[in-house]
């Protein structure tokens, strides 16, 4: 399984996380859905839809938390029959990032994913560029940015 | 024989510290009254724990009961007390032969021959061991040097079982057995693996007798990796073993060296503490074998 | 803030009162997350829960393959400590974190009793 990063500083923490948590698929993206790194996806179209859905879920739950007068939820987990989906955000020097993790219940568990996600969050915080201003992606640039990211993520 | 048993029994009852228990235990063993023989031997050992002949007697009874592992312990103990004990040397030679370690079998018989050069049975056993034939059982009565077959069909004079067919490219079964020479269960309850989960020696059978070596080996690498990670992340230091009780048996997993794994499986009758001792002994044998084959 | 049910507390008390036990937990075997805990300072509960559950799963598979059935009790021995676990029929692991020289027989007994309390 390949792990690839658009922004190289995300690569090492992600590789480590995948190994420790035995994750099957992982996306690290901005809260707007811009993908910074991925593991395990074989098709660009899957990355695009997973990133869009993940970002949408985080945005929705952030809004629910806001309406409840609560801080944003730390993490969300959905346990299916064979797989679990874990979604959590982490604040970094690159801005707020979201990780979407799909794990196989035969080889991993929510506990392991949570445990090593804490490490991933710390590693991403430590590795992220400290003084960078979060890049605004304009709608006009979005298609081009997305295409460039996918080219990098799939080695085209 | 019955009369002598009666006489010795009454002598022992009058003087429980008497050494007649050695003769009485042996007569009972020869009569096939193994449980009675064991009671006599164990009682004698309680009173004379440093008597090598008592350990030898107990070992013979255990060997007749096919409890080779404990027989090995008892003969081993006899040799620690009396390194030239011929009975113990012959007993261990027999056990080594049973697990296919002809070199160790011959070495023990040679040691016995040095102590008792006139004992024709040793020379004969040595010739048989060198020729790959099973030497006479050390539990057979000492006579004119002729091995005496025991009447029971499952008597320990049986030949070592023939080795299973060897798959292409696999290690010789004899070579595998050598890892755990002298330890009971070398081919059904002991397994040595490398770090990648490949079998180096031993074999496992489930309670139904089915060979489960490969299936278990496939899972063990994962268990040891998880044990190592758990110990590391919880700051418990280096892991030294995993012991588990199951519904149908007990298992003990250790890492005899940094890149090898040893699994011992026994039924529930074997207490966990004893399993740990068996595992320790098997780990020593495995380390020795790994060093020799490095 | 939630309070553990009384029987969970009672179960954990049975285990933590043994000399040499540094903490006890009830862990969801499938998820590897904490159900209830009584831990000394410095023990990382989530890590214990996740790793104990993972090791339990792997061990269970190996034991089933070996034909010795489901595990009733297991013990990870390490140079500076030990992890002792009893899986319950209800899918909970009763876990003890202990010193290396703890009385394993006693901890085992209390873990089994705790397992009966938890169900």
For chain B, the structural domain boundaries read 2-130, 173-292
Given an 8 Å threshold on Cβ–Cβ distance, is C50 in contact with A112?
yes
Instruction: Report, as an integer, the average pLDDT of C5-24.
Output: 93
Distance from CA of A76 to the nearest CA of C (A): 14
Q: Which structural domains are found in chain A, ordered by start?
A: 3-153 (3.30.450.30)
ipTM over 0.85: yes
The count of C-alpha atoms lying within 13 angstroms of the C-alpha of B47, restricted to the half-sphere facing its C-beta, is 14
More confident residue, A121 or B189: A121
Distance CA A65, CA A57 (A): 12
Distance CA B125, CA B142 (A): 13
> Tell me: the pLDDT tens digits for C34-53?
999 999 989 999 999 999 99
Mutation choice for B interface testing from C46, C53, C67 by most B CBs within 10 A = C67
Given an 8 Å threshold on Cβ–Cβ distance, is B210 in contact with C67?
yes
> Which residue among B219, B230, B238 sits closest to C83, beta carbon to beta carbon?
B230
> Closest Cα partner for B44 from B31, B30, B62, B56?
B56
Alpha-carbon dihedral B8, B9, B10, B12, rounded to 10 degrees: 80
Number of residues written out for chain C = 119
Number of residues written out for chain A = 156
Confidence of residue B188 (pLDDT cuts 50, 70, 90): low
Q: Considering Cα of B9, then B13, then B18, then B21, what sign does the dihedral take?
A: positive
- DSSP assignments along chain C, one per residue: -----HHHHHHHHHHHTSTTEEEEEEEETTT--EEEEEE-TT--HHHHHHHHHHHHHHHHHHHHHHT--SEEEEEEEETTEEEEEEE-TTSEEEEEEE-TTS-HHHHHHHHHHHHHHH-
Distance from CA of C31 to the nearest CA of A (A): 5
Distance CA B2, CA A105 (A): 68
Distance CA B135, CA B90 (A): 9
Distance CA A121, CA A101 (A): 13
Which residues lie closer than 8 Å to A15 by C-beta, 6 or more apart?
A: A3, A39
Chain C residues inside the 8 Å CB shell of A105? 30
Whether residue B139 has pLDDT greater than 80: no
What kind of fold does domain B2-130 have according to CATH? 1.25.40
- DSSP assignments along A94-140, one per residue: TEEEEEEEEEETTT--HHHHHHHHHHHHHHHHHHS-TTPPPPP--HH
Name beta bridge partners: C38: C24
Q: Which of A33-37, A104-108, A136-140 has the lowest mean pLDDT?
A: A136-140
Mutation choice for C interface testing from A112, A118, A121 by most C CBs within 10 A = A112
Specify whether the CB–CB gap between A109 and C31 falls below 8 A.
yes
Distance CA C21, CA C108 (A): 11
Q: Is C33 at the interface with chain A, CB within 8 A?
A: yes
Distance from CA of A54 to the nearest CA of C (A): 22
Percentage of residues of chain A with pLDDT beyond 90: 60
Given an 8 Å threshold on Cβ–Cβ distance, is B247 in contact with C68?
yes
Given an 8 Å threshold on Cβ–Cβ distance, is C33 in contact with A112?
no
Neighbours of B214 (CB within 10 A): 13
Q: Which structural domains are found in chain C, ordered by start?
A: 6-118 (3.30.450.30)
Mutation choice for B interface testing from C53, C63, C102 by most B CBs within 10 A = C63
3-class secondary-structure state, position B53: helix
Chain C residues inside the 8 Å CB shell of B233? 44, 47, 51
Q: Looking up tokens 């590789």, which residue turns up?
A: A15
Distance from CA of C68 to the nearest CA of B (A): 4
Tell me which chain C residue has its CA closest to the CA of residue A84: C31
Given an 8 Å threshold on Cβ–Cβ distance, is C80 in contact with B219?
no
Distance from CA of C5 to the nearest CA of B (A): 27
> Tell me: the pLDDT tens digits for B44-61?
888 887 788 898 999 999
Specify whether the CB–CB gap between A38 and A153 falls below 8 A.
yes
Q: Which of B67-81, B136-150, C103-117 has the lowest mean pLDDT?
A: B136-150
Q: Is A115 at the interface with chain C, CB within 8 A?
A: yes
> Tell me: the pLDDT tens digits for A110-131?
999 999 999 999 999 999 987 6
Tell me which chain A residue has its CA closest to the CA of residue C35: A111
Name beta bridge partners: B250: B245, B266
Distance CA B35, CA B55 (A): 16
Tell me, rounded to whole angstroms, the distance of Cα B72 from its chain centroid: 4
Distance CA B259, CA A94 (A): 42
Q: Given a contact as 3+ CB pairs under 8 Å, which chains touch A?
A: C
Token representation of residue B212: 């489960």
Specify whether the CB–CB gap between C46 and A111 falls below 8 A.
yes
Distance from CA of A133 to the nearest CA of C (A): 34
Best-predicted range by mean pLDDT among B134-148, B257-271, C24-38? C24-38
Given an 8 Å threshold on Cβ–Cβ distance, is C51 in contact with A105?
no
> Closest Cα partner for B183 from B249, B111, B244, B274?
B274
Q: Which CATH architecture has domain B173-292?
A: 2-Layer Sandwich (3.30)
Specify whether the CB–CB gap between A93 and A82 falls below 8 A.
no
Given an 8 Å threshold on Cβ–Cβ distance, is C54 in contact with A109?
yes
> Tell me: the pLDDT tens digits for C83-96?
999 999 999 999 99
Percentage of residues of chain A with pLDDT beyond 70: 90
> Which residue among A79, A111, A118 sits closest to C53, beta carbon to beta carbon?
A111
Q: Given a contact as 3+ CB pairs under 8 Å, which chains touch C?
A: A, B
Instruction: Report, as an integer, the average pLDDT of C15-44.
Output: 95
Specify whether the CB–CB gap between C98 and C22 falls below 8 A.
yes
Q: Is A75 at the interface with chain C, CB within 8 A?
A: no
pLDDT mean across residues, chain A:
88
**Kind and range of the H or E element at B57?**
helix B52-64
Distance from CA of C15 to the nearest CA of A (A): 23
Which residues lie closer than 8 Å to A109 by C-beta, 6 or more apart?
A: A84, A103, C30, C31, C32, C33, C50, C53, C54, C57
Token representation of residue B268: 């529930």
C45-59: b (≥16 Cβ within 10 Å) or e: bbbbbbbbbbbbbbb
């Amino acid at each position: 399984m390949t792990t690839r990063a658009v922004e190289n500083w995300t690569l090492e923490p992600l590789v480590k996380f995948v190994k420790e948590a035995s994750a099957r698929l992982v996306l690290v993206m901005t809260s707007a859905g811009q993908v910074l790194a991925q593991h395990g996806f074989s098709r660009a179209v899957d990355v695009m839809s997973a990133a869009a859905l993940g970002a949408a879920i985080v945005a929705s739950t952030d809004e629910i938390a806001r309406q409840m007068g609560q801080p944003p939820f730390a993490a969300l987990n959905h346990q299916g029959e064979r797989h679990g989906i874990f979604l959590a955000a982490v604040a970094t020097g690159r801005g707020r990032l979201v990780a979407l993790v799909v794990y196989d219940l035969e080889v991993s568990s929510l506990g392991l994913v949570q445990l090593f996600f804490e490490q991933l969050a710390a590693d991403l915080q430590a590795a992220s560029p400290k003084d960078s201003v979060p890049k605004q992606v304009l709608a006009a640039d979005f298609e081009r940015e997305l295409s460039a990211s996918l080219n990098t993520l799939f080695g085209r | 024989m019955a009369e002598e048993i009666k006489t010795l029994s009454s002598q022992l009852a009058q003087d429980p510290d008497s050494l007649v228990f050695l003769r009485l235990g042996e007569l009972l063993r020869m009569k096939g009254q193994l449980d009675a023989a064991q009671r006599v031997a164990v009682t004698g050992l309680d009173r004379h724990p440093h008597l090598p002949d008592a350990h030898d007697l107990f070992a013979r009874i255990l060997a007749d009961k096919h409890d080779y592992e404990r027989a090995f312990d008892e003969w081993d103990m006899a040799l620690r007390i009396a390194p030239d004990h011929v009975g113990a040397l012959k007993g261990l030679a027999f056990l080594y032969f049973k697990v296919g370690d002809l070199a160790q079998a011959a070495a023990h018989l040679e040691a016995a021959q040095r102590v008792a050069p006139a004992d024709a049975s040793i020379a004969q056993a040595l010739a048989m061991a060198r020729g790959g034939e099973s030497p006479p059982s050390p539990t057979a009565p000492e006579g004119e040097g002729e091995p005496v077959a025991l009447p029971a069909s499952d008597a320990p004079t049986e030949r070592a079982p023939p080795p299973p067919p060897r798959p292409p490219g696999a290690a010789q079964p004899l070579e595998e057995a050598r890892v755990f020479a002298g330890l009971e269960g070398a081919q059904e309850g002991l397994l040595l693996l490398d770090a990648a989960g490949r079998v180096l020696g031993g074999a496992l059978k489930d309670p139904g007798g089915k060979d489960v070596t490969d299936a278990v080996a496939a899972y063990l690498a994962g268990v040891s990796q998880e044990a190592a990670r758990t110990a590391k992340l919880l700051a418990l230091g280096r892991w030294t073993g995993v012991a588990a009780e199951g519904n149908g048996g007990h298992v003990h997993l250790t890492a005899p060296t940094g890149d090898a794994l040893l699994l011992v499986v026994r039924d529930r009758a074997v207490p966990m503490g004893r399993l740990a001792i068996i595992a320790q002994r098997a780990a020593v044998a495995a380390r020795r074998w790994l060093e020799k084959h490095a | 803030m939630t309070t553990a049910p009384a029987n969970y507390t009672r179960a954990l008390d049975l285990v933590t009162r043994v000399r040499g036990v540094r903490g006890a937990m009830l862990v969801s075997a499938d998820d590897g997350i904490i159900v209830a805990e009584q831990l000394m300072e410095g023990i990382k509960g989530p890590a214990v829960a996740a790793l104990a559950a993972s090791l339990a799963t792997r061990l269970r598979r190996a034991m089933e393959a070996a034909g010795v059935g489901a595990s009733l009790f297991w013990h990870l021995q390490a140079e500076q400590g030990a992890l002792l676990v009893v899986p319950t029929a209800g899918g909970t692991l009763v876990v003890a974190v202990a010193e290396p020289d703890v009385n394993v027989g006693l901890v085992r007994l209390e873990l089994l009793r705790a397992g009966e309390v938890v169900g």
